[in-house]
Structure formats: C-alpha cells, structure tokens
Amino acid sequence: MDKTLARAESIVLLRHLMDMELERIKNDVKADIVFFMGVDGRIFGSKIPEMLTTPQYFLLNLVKANVYHICDQLKSKNLEISVQKYGEGSIVIAGVGDKAFIVLIFAKPMEIQEMTSILSRVKSATLVLKHILEQRALTDDELKGYPADVANELKALSRQLFVEKFETTRKYKKNMEVLEIIRKNLAQIVGVGAVDEIVTLTFNELGTTAPYMSDRLWMMFLDKVISRVRTMRGDIVAEECKKLLVPVVEQKLKSFV
C-alpha cells in the first residue's frame, strides 16, 4: 500500500499525472468543465463533457473568446486568481506559475460564500500542477516546503500513478523480461516442473516479487536459486546452472533499454 511512483519517467506518465490532478480538482469542487493551458495558447489538458448544456456551452465559448486576453493578463501582470460571475454560472481562472493557468467553469448559480472552499482547493491545485509542469520528482525531498495539503495531494497522485501505470514503466518491463529469461533457462536444467517451485520459494525468501526487483536483488535471487538447485540436483547441475544463468542475466540487466 505504500508503493508509489516517485518519478514519472516518461511524457506519457507525466501527462497521466496531470490528467489525474485535473480529474481530482474537477470532482473535488464539482466543476462542470476544467482545462489547463499555457500562456502561449496551448491546451495541456481538459475535462469537458461530451454533451454540453446551454449554460456550459455559453460559458465555455465565453472563455474561448477571451483566451488571448487571459494569456496577456498572465504574461504582463502575472494574474494569480480571478472569479467571474454570470447569470449562467461562474468562471474561476488561476495562474499556474507565470507560464500557464487553469480554468474552472461552474454552470450553475453560486453565492460568493460558496467560493471560499473552492478557491482554497484551486490554490493548492495550481501548486500541484506547477510541480508537475516543471517535471519535478514526487520524492520527500522535492515536497519539502509545500503546505501540508499540497504535499499530501502530490503523494496521493504518486500512489495513484503507481496503481494505474506501474505496469507500463521501464522497471516493470525490465523485471518481467529478466524473470522470463531465468525461467526459460532454468527449465533447460531442472525441467519445467521444478521451475515454479524454485522461483516461488526464492521470491518468498527474498520477501518480494518480480515487478519490484532491483539489479542487486536479481543477483541475490540467482545465488539463492543456484543454492536451491544444488540441494535438489547436486554440485554438477548447480555449476551448470550458474554458468548458464549468471552471464545471461547480467547481460540483460546491463543492456535493457
């Protein structure tokens, strides 16, 4: 439960991290539409319903018509936050650093008092999105100095990213390939029937599983596998296992891209 992805190692993961935060802010403040833009007019991400109501459509078009004006405000005056109230609903615009901004559209009547908690959540979201936009890691060192709500939000995103995307990471793919190499070569020596027993017992002894292995743990894994083969089949077979497995695994660990 404590496992996280402290580093989004690709653009795909960074994009997913950003999309998760946009979805979370949309749900937390019950906004109808959310989008995240750069001051150069690029849209980094958005959450827009497939079917728009008349108020949603009106407010979205109002924002689109004023995008360049909003960008100019951010570029020249470093706009921090703006609340605009119309008959059809409200629009909140908040700067994310000096290079981007987030827009939230609420297509319903709202009193000013209701905006207090919304603006607090929006402020924390701008710090979270700025952290992501700067491609900074989600490690404890990088989170020092943030308010507690911002640090907790980034930690929650790190955990969510792990749950949803760990199987797409380089580490996961590498470990699965290494395990497959070990199983395939081990089967040539001890037979297919003994492979599952040896692999399962060795992982149990290490207290982990294949997806979370490191290079150091893989070498420990091989030592334990060879010891187990020695107990089951004797010294000659164990030495054969060592000569076959160690070089091929070492090569895979060094060369994986």
Residue 1 is predicted with a pLDDT of 41
CA dihedral (161, 166, 168, 170) positive or negative: positive
In the chain, what is the greatest distance between 2 CA atoms, to the nearest angstrom? Answer: 85
Q: Which two tokens stand for residue 39?
A: 């001051």
**The pTM of the whole model exceeds 0.75:** no
Amino acid at 219: M
Nearest to 238 by CA among 227, 246, 248: 227
Pick from 242, 185, 183, 249: nearest CA to 218: 249
Q: Are 93 and 105 in contact (CB under 8 A)?
A: no
CA 48 to chain centre: 21
Q: What is the pLDDT of residue 99?
A: 84
Q: How far apart are CA 143 and CA 145, in angstroms?
A: 6
Distances in Å between the Cα of 7 and the Cα atoms of 10, 99, 114, 148, 205 are 9, 22, 36, 20, 28
Mean pLDDT of each 10-residue bin along the chain, 257 residues long? 52 81 94 91 89 93 85 74 88 88 91 83 93 84 88 88 79 91 90 89 91 91 92 88 89 78
Residue 96 pairs in a beta bridge with 100
Question: What does DSSP assign to residue 177?
Answer: H
Task: Kindly provide the b/e burial profile for residues 1-16, where b requires at least 16 CB atoms within 10 angstroms of the residue's own CB.
Answer: eeebbbbbeeeebbeb
